[in-house]
Amino acid sequence: MISIKGLDKWYNSLHVLRDINLQVDEGEVVVLIGASGSGKSTLLRCLNRLERADRGEIHILGREINQTDKDLDQLRQQVGMVFQHFHLFPHMTVIENVIEAPIHVKKMNRRAAERLATELLQKVGLADKMHSYPHSLSGGQKQRVAIARALAMQPRVMLFDEPTSALDPELVGEVLSVMKELAQDGMTMVVVTHEMGFAREVADKVVYMDEGRIIEQGTPEQIFGAPQEERTQRFVSQIYN
Amino acid sequence: MTLLEIFQTTFIGFSKAAWQTVLLTFWSLLVGTAIGLVFAFCKISSNKLLNGLAQLYITVIRGTPLIVQIFAIYFGLAEFIVLDSFTAGVFALAIHAGAYIAEIFRGAIQAVDSGQMEAARSLGMSYSLAMRLIILPQAFRRSIPPLGNQFIIGLKDSSLVAYIGGTELWSAGLGAAADNFKQFETYFINGLYYLALILLFTGLLRQLERRLQVEKRGTQG
Ligand SMILES: Nc1ncnc2c1ncn2[C@@H]1O[C@H](COP(=O)(O)OP(=O)(O)OP(=O)(O)O)[C@@H](O)[C@H]1O
Ligand SMILES: [Mg+2]
């Protein structure tokens, strides 16, 4: 479903991604872990071309993503993204946030879009907030709206960049449980997170990154239980202390 | 002649002229807002030519007196086309205000969190669609207070059109004072008309702001 080959990226002289090779299969949940600045967000953002890699190839759904802008907009409809800081549209109500892209990008009619949005908002437990504005929601609620907004485009892949890092601890659970449900429904997901419990429980594959490199990847049992590389061992033992 | 008598004798003339001022201001700010929007886009565009053009326009307008611009347009363009003083006034004021309005819009657009554009693009919106649906509505709301300020300045600036033969409020003041030789009193009353117009406009603006605030609050997503 996603195949990354020999990806390199520089910010000026800073080599942020080094020869990244990664495969994500349909229905798989891949969790990216690693220290701050290791390039996790950059890699994720390359997947929907919010950032452009300097070298290498990314195929998503069988298509190379270094394409013209028009094809890029098409690609992005297939790849949903959830951000650390939500980025809800503050001038729109919750339901407007969710239906905006289906109506204007997919040309879905308003009635159908509203039906879909209502369904999704029920799924994330926010049916009663449909007509509220984002400023009146808690962080956890905002993030759940952001997930519903991304799902409304009916993407084949969902990218999450630290979706719970900006939340108060007591609000983390409600967002993670929505993500768990999504994973159980078979959504292909790439998730950057520091929530190791989530990684252990939900991930099919855990990828450990350091200084722009993938150091090690494997099942949660392998990475957390029996890491092969010294750097992974150090990172994992730090987490559990 | 007392102040009251001067007020009475100038009332009809000043009222008519005030209406001219309103029209002059309205049209010039309408055109100026359109110009401002176009140049704001030029200035944030990645096209070097458009960028340079916008920079040049803004630098020249901000760097020269309005009266010079009005004269340049009225007398300069008279070589090519015949412009009545109202039309020339509208264009001169519009071109002048446009430079400031462009900066207001540019600032407001750039003040919208860059995450908004990223979120919109990640949903598959094109750049222009994201601008139209997501960025501009937020930017417009932010530009209302500085825009209101600019409109007040524009209304007062319109007085300079008197010097190319306009028939607006200040020219009526000049005419009346020349007739009655009561300079101070006449100009004082003339100024009160401007004050009244501006208070009226400020009131309308405040209502608009309040309505927008009740409708849709908050800038945080
Ligand atoms: N736009 C940018 N310009 C220059 N350098 C950048 C830019 N974005 C990120 N970087 C740098 O690239 C490196 C990788 O950043 P990235 O955000 O991908 O790390 P991360 O693993 O997501 O870290 P965190 O856990 O803090 O989010 C960092 O050193 C960062 O400072
Ligand atoms: Mg990051």
Residue of A8, A12, A13, A16 with the most ligand 1 atoms within 8 Å of its CB, for mutation: A16
Per-residue pLDDT tens digits for B32-43? 999 999 999 999
B48-63 vs B3-44: helix crossing angle, rounded to 10: 160
* Averaged confidence pLDDT in chain B: 92
**pLDDT 10s digit of each residue in chain A, 241 long?**
899 999 999 999 999 999 999 999 999 999 999 999 999 999 999 999 999 889 999 999 888 887 666 778 888 999 999 999 999 999 999 999 999 999 999 999 999 999 999 999 999 999 999 999 999 999 999 999 999 999 999 999 999 999 999 999 999 999 999 999 999 999 999 999 999 999 999 999 999 999 999 999 999 999 999 999 999 999 988 887 6
Residue A39 Cβ inside 6 Å of ligand 1? The answer reads yes
pLDDT of residue A32: 96
Residue A37 Cβ inside 6 Å of ligand 1? The answer reads yes
- Is the pTM higher than 0.80? The answer reads yes
pLDDT at B219 over 60: no
Ligand 2 centre distance from Cα of residue A95 (Å): 28
Provide the shortest C-alpha distance from residue B100 to chain A (in Å).
Answer: 26
Q: Taking residues B36-53, what's their average pLDDT?
A: 94
Interface touch B116/A69, C-beta < 8 Å: no
CA distance A192 to A170: 20
Residue of A10, A13, A14, A15 with the most ligand 1 atoms within 8 Å of its CB, for mutation: A14
Within an 8 Å CB–CB cutoff, is residue A73 touching chain B?
yes
Interface touch A87/B116, C-beta < 8 Å: yes
pLDDT of residue A67: 64
At A11, the amino acid letter reads Y
Exposed e or buried b for every residue in A6-36, given b needs 16+ CB within 10 A?
A: ebebeeeeebbbbebebebeeebbbbbbbee
Cβ-proximal residues to B120 (8 Å cutoff; 6+ apart), any chain: A89, A101, B129, B130, B133, B134, B135
Cβ-proximal residues to B212 (8 Å cutoff; 6+ apart), any chain: B141, B144
CB B127 within 8 Å of CB A70: no
Nearest-atom number in ligand 1 for the CA of A162 is 27
Q: Taking residues B111-116, what's their average pLDDT?
A: 95
Ligand 2 centre distance from Cα of residue A165 (Å): 10
Cβ-proximal residues to B125 (8 Å cutoff; 6+ apart), any chain: A73, A101, A104, A105, B133, B134
Interface touch A104/B129, C-beta < 8 Å: yes
**What DSSP string runs through A129-192?**
GTTS-GGGS-HHHHHHHHHHHHHTT--SEEEEESTTTTS-HHHHHHHHHHHHHHHHTT-EEEEE
Question: How many residues in chain B?
Answer: 221
Report the chain A residue with the minimal C-alpha distance to residue B135: A89
CA distance A217 to A22: 9
Interface touch A150/B123, C-beta < 8 Å: yes
Ligand 1 centre distance from Cα of residue B115 (Å): 15
Interface touch B125/A133, C-beta < 8 Å: no
At B43, the amino acid letter reads K
CA distance A20 to A209: 10
**Residue nearest to ligand 1 atom 5, measured at CA:** A11
| ipTM score for this prediction | 0.92
